[in-house]
């Protein structure tokens, strides 16, 4: 079952053009929404679809839309920052089917009575940004954007904005600060963006993939979408598969299959006859899974969560038995230490402590006391080392940095100890 990638797979050369989009049913949902079922109808279909946000937090989109405060103007902001390591699905959706996103943005803005939407694209994505900007320009030229769209009386402008390359600007409130021209630092919540967001006005922030589903949902009905996959993980889901698999790439899957199928069927198994050692099921912020425990776990939002991790951003990073897991954890923690915005002490200090401890273990200078210290520092960032994490910080970046450390100590403590060696290290 393909919703998001059908067009781009069937028309590889020109799926991004407005001609191909219109020739394959594009903008029919817009007509249906604006001229037939109306704003309430669009909202009702999205609620009925049970679609949960694809940006990482899995929040039901229809419920979030319902939180939008009545003050005007209100805004829709599309999160196209896609900076979670291993994730590259939004890139494909923007590069290969930008009109699908634009149509989703117009329908969503219409449902929310929003007259200005922003698409915030990560700065390192020049090609997707060009394609989205071109799609926006074409949509204006065809009367799908601008004033009195399709004669419905609804007006919408879309602004495409490029970020400056900071990971933290993917966090929705940091993104809003960045869009306003401020430092990209997360805001303390509440207030949530739906009440006080961009320019202190009510704002809905949704991920590219979330909104790219909206045209299909409006065309086919929310109930049809809800019937795809398990009840609480409705619809298809883009997976960015990378690392030690024979066939890395983006795959649109129906949630619910065991993780084994994602790695061995979609991914074609582990190269060079090696063994699977571990994988990260939902971006580098997610705790790791191991074959002894998790190959038969269904790849759904809830099952993955109940087993102590998350489907997160959809990035699945596979590690074979040649992987130095201490080095892998260090590499991830180093990223978070570098990307910490510095507002919260546990994150600012703790992530670089973790990085330094892992570095000395990795380079053969670890001490026995480092084993406890790793967990102690992690516990200070994320009390109780619970999953989902308890927060001592403004945003989840700090707690995310503890995920690889806790996984390392949970599943591979013997390898960490072996690197440390004797009593004195």
If the CB atoms of residues 229 and 398 are measured against ligand SF4, the closer one turns out to be 398
Under the criterion CB under 6 A, does residue 210 sit at the interface with ligand FMN? yes
Among 15, 43, 50, 207, binds ligand FMN (CB under 6 A): 207
If the CB atoms of residues 284 and 297 are measured against ligand FMN, the closer one turns out to be: 284
Burial 396-406 (b: 16+ CB within 10 A, else e): bbbbbbbbbbb
User: Which residues are CB-contacts of 354 (< 8 A; sequence separation ≥ 6)?
Assistant: 333, 337, 374, 377, 378, 401, 402, 405
* Binding-site ranges for ligand SF4 (CB under 6 A): 168, 186, 340-344, 347-348, 393-395, 397-398
Residue 178 contact, options ligand FMN, ligand SF4, none, Cβ 5-8 Å cut-off depending on partner type: none
Least Å distance between CB 174 and ligand SF4?
8
| Shortest separation between residue 13's beta carbon and ligand FMN, angstroms | 28
CB 322, CB 415: distance < 8 Å: no
- CA torsion, points 48, 51, 57, 63, in degrees to nearest 10? -20
Of ligand FMN, ligand SF4, none, which one sits near residue 348, judging by CB under 5 to 8 A according to partner kind?
ligand SF4
Question: Residue 342: which of ligand FMN, ligand SF4, none does it interact with, CB under 5 to 8 A by kind?
Answer: ligand SF4
CB-nearer residue toward ligand SF4: 320 or 355: 355
Question: Which residue, 165 or 342, is less far from ligand SF4 as judged by CB?
Answer: 342
For ligand FMN, give the closer residue by CB, 26 or 56. 56
**Distance separating alpha carbons of residues 375 and 93, to the nearest angstrom:** 39
Pick what 341 binds: ligand SF4, ligand FMN, none; C-beta below 5 to 8 Å, kind-dependent: ligand SF4
Residue whose CB is less far from ligand FMN, 83 or 378? 83
Q: In what order do the strands lie in the sheet with 75-80?
A: 157-162, 116-121, 75-80, 203-207
In terms of phi and psi (left: phi > 0; alpha: psi -120 to 50; beta: otherwise), the region of 23 is: alpha
Question: Is the alpha carbon torsion for 377, 380, 383, 386 positive or negative?
Answer: negative
- Nearest Cα neighbor of 276 from 286, 287, 264 is 264
Complex with ligand FMN: residue 214 or 326, whichever CB lies closer: 214
Work out how close the CB of 392 gets to ligand SF4 at its nearest, in angstroms, rounded to a whole number: 9
Q: Is there a contact between 225 and 97 (Cβ–Cβ < 8 Å)?
A: no
Nearer Cβ to ligand SF4 (259/353): 353
Residues 151 and 155: their CA atoms lie apart, in Å, by 10
The entry of ligand SF4, ligand FMN, none near residue 382 (CB within 5 to 8 angstroms by kind) is none
Q: Which of 246, 281, 252 is nearest to 84 (CA)?
A: 281
Residue 164 CA to its chain's centroid (Å): 18
The residues, any chain, with a CB within 8 Å of residue 362's CB and separated by 6 or more, are 324, 326, 327, 330, 419
If the CB atoms of residues 17 and 43 are measured against ligand FMN, the closer one turns out to be: 43
**Footprint of ligand FMN on 49-88 (CB under 6 A):** 53-57, 59, 64, 79, 81-84
Does 382 participate in binding ligand FMN (rule CB under 6 A)? no
Spell out the alpha helix ranges (H) of 262-344.
291-294, 301-306, 325-339
Tell the smallest beta-carbon distance from residue 168 to ligand SF4 (Å): 5
For residue 309, what is the enclosing H or E element?
A: none
List Cα–Cα distances, 203 to 163, 209, 298, in angstroms. Answer: 18, 18, 34
Piece of 25-33, 128-136, 165-173, 254-262 that binds ligand FMN (CB under 6 A): 165-173
CB 3 to ligand FMN: min, Å: 15
Least distance to ligand SF4, CB of residue 91, Å: 23
| Per-residue contact string for residues 218-237; x = within reach of ligand FMN by CB under 6 A | --------------------
Quick one: which of 272, 294, 397 has its CA closest to 337? 397
CB of 201 vs ligand FMN, minimal distance in Å:
17
55 binds, among ligand SF4, ligand FMN, none (CB under 5 to 8 A by kind): ligand FMN
Q: Max alpha carbon distance in the chain (Å)?
A: 77
Which of 148, 151, 161, 173 lies closest to 117 in space, CA to CA? 161
Contact flag: residue 370 with ligand FMN (CB under 6 A): no
Could you tell me the smallest distance in angstroms from the CB atom of residue 170 to ligand FMN? 2
Tokens linked to 394 = 């403004």
Applying CB under 6 A, the residues found at the interface with ligand FMN are 53-57, 59, 64, 79, 81-84, 168, 170-172, 205-207, 210, 395-397
């Amino acid at each position: 079952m393909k919703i998001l990638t059908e067009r781009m797979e069937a028309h590889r050369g020109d799926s991004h053009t407005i001609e191909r989009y219109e020739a394959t049913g594009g903008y029919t949902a817009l007509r249906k929404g604006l001229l037939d079922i109306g704003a309430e109808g669009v909202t009702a279909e999205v609620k009925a679809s049970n679609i949960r946000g694809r940006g990482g937090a899995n929040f039901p989109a229809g419920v979030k839309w319902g939180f939008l405060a009545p003050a005007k103007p209100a805004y829709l902001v599309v999160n196209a920052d896609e900076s979670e390591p291993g994730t590259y699905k939004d890139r494909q959706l923007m590069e290969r089917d930008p009109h699908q996103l634009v149509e989703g943005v117009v329908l969503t803005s219409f449902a929310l009575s929003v007259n200005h939407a922003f698409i915030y694209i990560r700065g390192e994505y020049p090609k997707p940004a060009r394609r989205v900007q071109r799609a926006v320009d074409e949509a204006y030229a065809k009367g799908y954007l601008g004033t009195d769209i399709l004669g419905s009386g609804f007006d919408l402008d879309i602004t495409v904005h490029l970020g400056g390359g900071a990971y933290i600007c993917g966090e929705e409130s940091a993104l809003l600060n960045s869009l306003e021209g401020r430092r990209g630092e997360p805001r303390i919540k509440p207030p949530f963006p739906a009440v006080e967001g961009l320019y202190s006005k009510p704002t809905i922030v949704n991920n590219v993939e979330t909104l790219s589903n909206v045209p299909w949902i409006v065309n086919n009905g929310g109930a049809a979408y809800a019937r795809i996959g398990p009840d609480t993980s409705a619809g298809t889901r883009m997976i960015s598969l990378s690392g030690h698999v024979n066939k890395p790439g983006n795959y649109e899957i129906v949630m619910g299959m065991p993780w084994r199928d994602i790695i061995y069927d979609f991914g074609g198994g582990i190269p060079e006859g090696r063994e699977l050692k571990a994988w990260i099921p939902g971006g580098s912020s997610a705790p790791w899974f191991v074959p002894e425990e998790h190959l038969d776990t269904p790849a759904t939002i809830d099952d993955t969560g109940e087993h102590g991790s998350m489907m997160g951003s959809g990035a699945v990073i596979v590690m074979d038995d040649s992987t130095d897991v201490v080095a892998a954890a260090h590499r991830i923690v180093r990223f978070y230490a570098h990307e910490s915005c510095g507002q919260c002490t546990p994150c600012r200090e703790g992530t670089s402590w973790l990085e330094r401890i892992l570095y000395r273990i990795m380079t053969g200078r670890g001490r026995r006391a480092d084993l406890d210290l790793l967990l102690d520092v992690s516990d200070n960032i994320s009390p109780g080392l619970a999953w989902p994490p308890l927060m001592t910080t403004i945003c989840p970046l700090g707690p995310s940095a503890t995920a690889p450390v806790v996984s390392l100590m949970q599943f591979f403590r013997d390898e960490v100890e072996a690197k440390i060696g004797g009593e004195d290290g």
